[in-house]
Structure 1
Amino acid sequence: MRPRIHYATWPRPALILTDTPRPDCPDCRGEGGWNRDYGDHETGEYAGTEWDPCTCWDENRSWTLLPLPRIPRRRQPYTDPWGTTGGYSDEPPF
């Protein structure tokens, strides 16, 4: 296992300890896997892409080290260039 600390945002903000791909892996060259395009069986046209993970690491192996608090967002009221907060003005355009 080659651990590293990673910042995760889902399902909640946290610092996690996760495994990394082996950098000298001859199959994935340290990327952890490869994309595989596939097509429709009847038409043969492109239907999507799947991720095939390499056997040199386990992408599901992770441990939460420190859950972080959610920071609430403060919404600012909209103010247009003329200083009105509703977005409308009774001034005629020039």
Structure 2
Amino acid sequence: MLGEAVYIIQNQYSENLTLDDVARQVFISPYYLSHLFREELGVTFLEYLTRIRMEEAKRLLCDRSLTILDISARVGYEDPSYFSKVFKKNTGVSPNQYRK
């Protein structure tokens, strides 16, 4: 079950995924899925989703033809300002600083 949820996140991170959405797709309760993430991976669902999004954002930032707006949309953030805030919180630098 957790493996299926991880697979969904890794393949649909650019969508507006919620714990409820993924739990529904793997046919378990959101509470139980949340428990599995904490128990097996040591992180919350949201922390895992954010980690996957940030790793992809770092990869995309190497492509200078993409704007921050493009990258934020590709990794599931509609608001580029919020993306930048989350990126800085997770990496310690802004997307523009990381790109340099």
Instruction: Please say whether Structure 1 and Structure 2 have the same fold, judged by a TM-score greater than 0.5.
Output: no
TM-score normalised according to structure 1 size: 0.22
- Give the number of the structure whose alpha-carbon radius of gyration is greater: 1
Larger proportion of strand: 1
Larger proportion of helix: 2
